[in-house]
A and B are shown apart, each in its own frame.
Chain A
């Protein structure tokens, strides 16, 4: 477990950003994963005083504050209306309700964890991240950027009429996934994202007909939960099922 010297709850983003420029300091999201790391932190920076814990909906987009919890994603009526069971599916297997009441969307995305259901899911939507200094960047670009000490303020998800489906395979219901898969379709263009390979999720553009082949283009590796060979097979199966769901409008 980490050891912590000081705790600060900044009143402004600028203050948080300044504090975060020191290597020994660290922003905490929900404190779920970070706690389990090792090492010493000089000052933990708690963003919960900045009003970033809301999901707001406009005509054209959702803005999801970095401190919104996974449980908010799971139960938000606007998200459900727009994306059906997509957000329920990508959250409901994550540990338990109490965990999802603590874990934050910002933490899940900023951590760029290999096992992340959340990252896999957002990659197939038209998602942008708003960074305090660098401004608005597409999520697909963000995952390739070097880790730095900027602050992820919020996610912006466009309501662009796409249909999306989320699937995962797990050894038990609330375990880390063996593989995650999300897909969306809009105007014949399909975004396919596969995660927990066990490397972090990535996204590729394809078509409805080529989804299974597109799954083959990802690289797959082995860990405790599955071999690369099995994961590659699962990638195809899940992509095939996602395809079927998109075709049948079962999303």
Chain B
């Protein structure tokens, strides 16, 4: 079947199987930042935005996203590099495999929680990002990076 949607600001028409999940379709379209780490919705590596909301692309039928706006890290290169510099300064990207999904969710958190002067504290950050597993860093360096980034970019 054919599906049409907006991918990183550009219209896409593509032929898919009815059972295809968004993760696989996005990788086929060249969005290699989207990774699969588990198959059971637990790792968060496949996080993308659907109409601006962070979702697990492994659990979305591609057939259902007609007309929606999909954003992957390929569409957020500048922001990714900006936050990524904080992450790298802590050494907290490590193997980097979970970084794209993690960064997608950090940037979604920033948009959702940093409103009307609010800046999430460590506990809120941990809860919002709990669905992003990382085996390398032990999370502490990621938290330092997120806190610094939010502080410095939000004032």
A residues whose Cβ falls under 8 Å from a Cβ of B:
1-7, 9, 28, 30-32, 35-36, 41, 44, 46, 48, 92, 95-99, 101-102, 173-174
Which residues does chain B contribute within 8 Å of A48, judged by CB atoms? 64
* Contacts A95-B131, A101-B53, A174-B131; A7 near B59 (Cβ below 8 A): no
Across the interface, do B41 and A44 meet the contact criterion of CB distance under 8 Å? no
Across the interface, do B127 and A7 meet the contact criterion of CB distance under 8 Å? no
Q: Is B54 located at the chain interface by the 8 A CB criterion?
A: yes
Q: Is B63 located at the chain interface by the 8 A CB criterion?
A: yes
Across the interface, do B59 and A31 meet the contact criterion of CB distance under 8 Å? yes
* Contacts A95-B41, A96-B44, A96-B130; A3 near B19 (Cβ below 8 A): yes
- Interface contact tally, CB-CB below 8 A: 80
> Sorted from nearest, which 10 A-B pairs have the closest CB atoms?
A96-B131, A4-B19, A7-B63, A7-B18, A98-B54, A31-B59, A98-B56, A46-B64, A6-B18, A4-B18
Report the minimal beta-carbon distance from A121 to chain B, rounded to whole angstroms. Answer: 18
A149–B42 CA distance with the chains assembled, in angstroms:
29
A20–B131 CA distance with the chains assembled, in angstroms:
33
Nearest-CB residue, chain A, relative to B128 = A97
Which residues does chain B contribute within 8 Å of A97, judged by CB atoms? 54, 105, 108-109, 128-131
Across the interface, do A32 and B54 meet the contact criterion of CB distance under 8 Å? no
Q: For chain B, give the interface size range.
A: 20 to 34
Across the interface, do B40 and A36 meet the contact criterion of CB distance under 8 Å? yes
Q: Is B115 located at the chain interface by the 8 A CB criterion?
A: no
Which residues does chain A contribute within 8 Å of B47, judged by CB atoms? 98
Which residues does chain B contribute within 8 Å of A2, judged by CB atoms? 19
* Contacts A36-B40, A92-B127, A95-B131; A4 near B61 (Cβ below 8 A): yes
Q: Is B60 located at the chain interface by the 8 A CB criterion?
A: yes
Q: Is B39 located at the chain interface by the 8 A CB criterion?
A: yes
Across the interface, do B18 and A98 meet the contact criterion of CB distance under 8 Å? no
Nearest-CB residue, chain B, relative to A34 = B59
Across the interface, do B55 and A98 meet the contact criterion of CB distance under 8 Å? yes
Across the interface, do B130 and A173 meet the contact criterion of CB distance under 8 Å? yes
B residues whose Cβ falls under 8 Å from a Cβ of A:
1, 17-19, 21, 39-42, 44, 47, 53-56, 58-61, 63-64, 105, 108-109, 127-132
Report the minimal beta-carbon distance from B73 to chain A, rounded to whole angstroms. Answer: 14
Which residues does chain B contribute within 8 Å of A92, judged by CB atoms? 127
Nearest-CB residue, chain A, relative to B132 = A96
A6–B16 CA distance with the chains assembled, in angstroms:
11
Across the interface, do A9 and B44 meet the contact criterion of CB distance under 8 Å? no
Report the minimal beta-carbon distance from A87 to chain B, rounded to whole angstroms. Answer: 15
Report the minimal beta-carbon distance from B146 to chain A, rounded to whole angstroms. Answer: 14
Report the minimal beta-carbon distance from B45 to chain A, rounded to whole angstroms. Answer: 10
Which residues does chain A contribute within 8 Å of B105, judged by CB atoms? 97-98
* Contacts A28-B61, A31-B59, A46-B61; A98 near B127 (Cβ below 8 A): no
A46–B19 CA distance with the chains assembled, in angstroms:
12
A96–B47 CA distance with the chains assembled, in angstroms:
11
* Contacts A97-B54, A99-B131; A7 near B1 (Cβ below 8 A): yes
Which residues does chain B contribute within 8 Å of A9, judged by CB atoms? 63-64
Contact of B39 among A1, A6, A174 (CB under 8 A): A1
